[in-house]
Amino acid sequence: MLRKNGFFILLVILIASALIIANANIKTDTITASSFYDHVVNAVTDEQGNIWVLYRDNEGYTVIQYTPDGKIGKVTGLQSKGKDTGVLSEHMYVDKDQSLFVTKSYLDNTTGLVESETVVIIKEDSVEEVFRIEYKPEDNVWLPTISHIVCEGNNLFVVMNEISSIKVYAVSLASKEASKTDEYIPTGDVYIDSAVRLDNGTVVFSTKEGNVFVIRNKKEAEKIYPQNKSTAQIGKLHAVTGNEVRFLDYTADIYGSMSYMDFPLETVYKDDDVLLEEPQILFNDIENLYTGSKGHIVSVMKYKGDTVMLYGSAGNLKMFNVSQTAGKVKTVNTLMKVLFVLAALCLTIVIWQIFLYFDIKYFRKKRIVVRTVPKSNSDN
């Protein structure tokens, strides 16, 4: 009886612990319309028009897939574990099979230095690491160096910005083996801000001083923007299929495009250009602009108290209200946690039934004492 009661008490403790943990997670797992805008790290679109949003919260990172009509598709959590609390995820790429590649950087909690950087691939039912680079404390890496990721055939190309030099790694998606293919060290005193690799292997990079350079055939860097002697405030470079690079120039207030090989400037949007007719959204209304490898645009913004998302190709943008879907992400994650608790409860009950079976069949039999009662004299 004591053993039975002890096991029953343990069962109650396990169930209560599971419910407490689930309740705590549900309370912290809140993706609201107001917080959504402030915590979007990146967004890209795929060939089918789906939108992939990287959202950062207290537990880590969540990748939310939206269908072209604004409905929530797949939700994948990239939660931090242990000392991974300093994880940062900045760059994304979606291949033709809708596999999503995301960069992750791990920081030392004490020094703040970058310890390692990885690229993970998110498939239909798995999250797998395909690239990793480790740093020593004496390397003094203060900022993540991965600047661009792109797939070509069975290879993933990883462009590393090391402030004064650029390295390009080719990673076999079959064997996960990485090899350094190129290294560029521009002459002069330059502070590289971002770098991308085009389809033909050409590397384009921008500097903190506001200049854009191209490296042709592994030769000396050539300035391609701005054409005059002045400098500009350039946003991160985005590589687009077809050897095209796009960027925001905050000084000239334009969204520009330059293509190999002469790299003439084409202004995609400027000043008060209309991005959307109804409701009317102007170019200077937006604060961020993410460009996918196919040239599709995503912008998250606040509009009349709601968080909305613009997406599509230049000149053909659509909009949907993120405020109407933000709470559904919480519901999806909460449902998964409730199902986990129910599964744990069912497993505990099964274990309890197995214990009772063996207890009755084996242990209780051993405790039965057979006594022989002597016959009384009256029976003789």
pLDDT digits (tens, 9 = 90+) for 81-106: 555 545 667 789 999 889 999 998 88
Domain count, the chain: 1
pLDDT, position 1: 47
Q: Judge residue 303's burial from the number of C-beta atoms within 10 Å of its C-beta, 0-12 exposed, 13-18 middle, 19 or more buried.
A: middle
pLDDT, position 374: 60
Assess if residue 15 is contained within a domain. Answer: yes
Confidence of residue 134 (pLDDT cuts 50, 70, 90): very high
Assess if residue 21 is contained within a domain. Answer: yes
Give mean pLDDT, residues 328-352.
Answer: 66
pTM of the model: 0.78
Percentage of the chain beyond pLDDT 90 is: 48
Assess if residue 264 is contained within a domain. Answer: no
Assess if residue 12 is contained within a domain. Answer: yes
Residue with tokens 């129910």: 342
The one-letter code for the residue type at 126 is: S
Q: Which of 287, 289, 197, 181 is nearest to 240 (CA)?
A: 197
Assess if residue 318 is contained within a domain. Answer: no
Mean pLDDT score of the chain, rounded to an integer? 82
pLDDT, position 361: 64
Q: Are the C-beta atoms of residues 53 and 63 closer than 8 Å to each other?
A: yes
Q: What is d(CA 145, CA 194) in angstroms, rounded to the nearest whole number?
A: 9
List pLDDT tens digits, range 240-265.
999 999 999 999 999 999 999 999 99
Q: What is d(CA 118, CA 138) in angstroms, rounded to the nearest whole number?
A: 20
Is a pLDDT exceeding 50 seen at residue 2? no
Q: Are the C-beta atoms of residues 107 and 86 closer than 8 Å to each other?
A: yes
pLDDT, position 340: 64
Is a pLDDT exceeding 70 seen at residue 372? no
pLDDT, position 24: 45
Q: Which two tokens stand for residue 166?
A: 């650029």
Is a pLDDT exceeding 90 seen at residue 131? yes
pLDDT, position 69: 86
Q: Are the C-beta atoms of residues 317 and 311 closer than 8 Å to each other?
A: yes
Confidence of residue 299 (pLDDT cuts 50, 70, 90): very high
Q: What is d(CA 75, CA 52) in angstroms, rounded to the nearest whole number?
A: 10
Q: What is d(CA 269, CA 292) in angstroms, rounded to the nearest whole number?
A: 16
Would strands 114-122 and 100-107 be described as parallel, antiparallel, or unpaired? antiparallel
Residue 150 burial (CB count, 10 A): 20
Percentage of the chain beyond pLDDT 70 is: 76
Assess if residue 297 is contained within a domain. Answer: no
User: What is the Cα 247 distance to its own chain's centre?
Assistant: 22
Q: Which two tokens stand for residue 339?
A: 């199902």
Estimate the share of the chain in helix, then strand, then coil, as percent rounded to the nearest 5.
25, 40, 35
Beta-bridge mates of residue 72: 66
User: What is the Cα 128 distance to its own chain's centre?
Assistant: 12
Assess if residue 25 is contained within a domain. Answer: yes
Q: What angle do CA 22, 23, 28 make, to 5 degrees?
A: 100
The whole domain housing 26 covers 1-30+329-364
pLDDT, position 238: 95
Give mean pLDDT, residues 356-364.
Answer: 65
Q: Judge residue 21's burial from the number of C-beta atoms within 10 Å of its C-beta, 0-12 exposed, 13-18 middle, 19 or more buried.
A: middle
Q: Are the C-beta atoms of residues 256 and 247 closer than 8 Å to each other?
A: yes
Q: Are the C-beta atoms of residues 308 and 320 closer than 8 Å to each other?
A: yes
Confidence of residue 76 (pLDDT cuts 50, 70, 90): confident
Q: What is d(CA 290, CA 40) in angstroms, rounded to the nearest whole number?
A: 11
Assess if residue 219 is contained within a domain. Answer: no
Q: What is d(CA 301, CA 307) in angstroms, rounded to the nearest whole number?
A: 6
Q: What is d(CA 149, CA 377) in angstroms, rounded to the nearest whole number?
A: 99
Confidence of residue 114 (pLDDT cuts 50, 70, 90): very high
Is a pLDDT exceeding 70 seen at residue 17? no
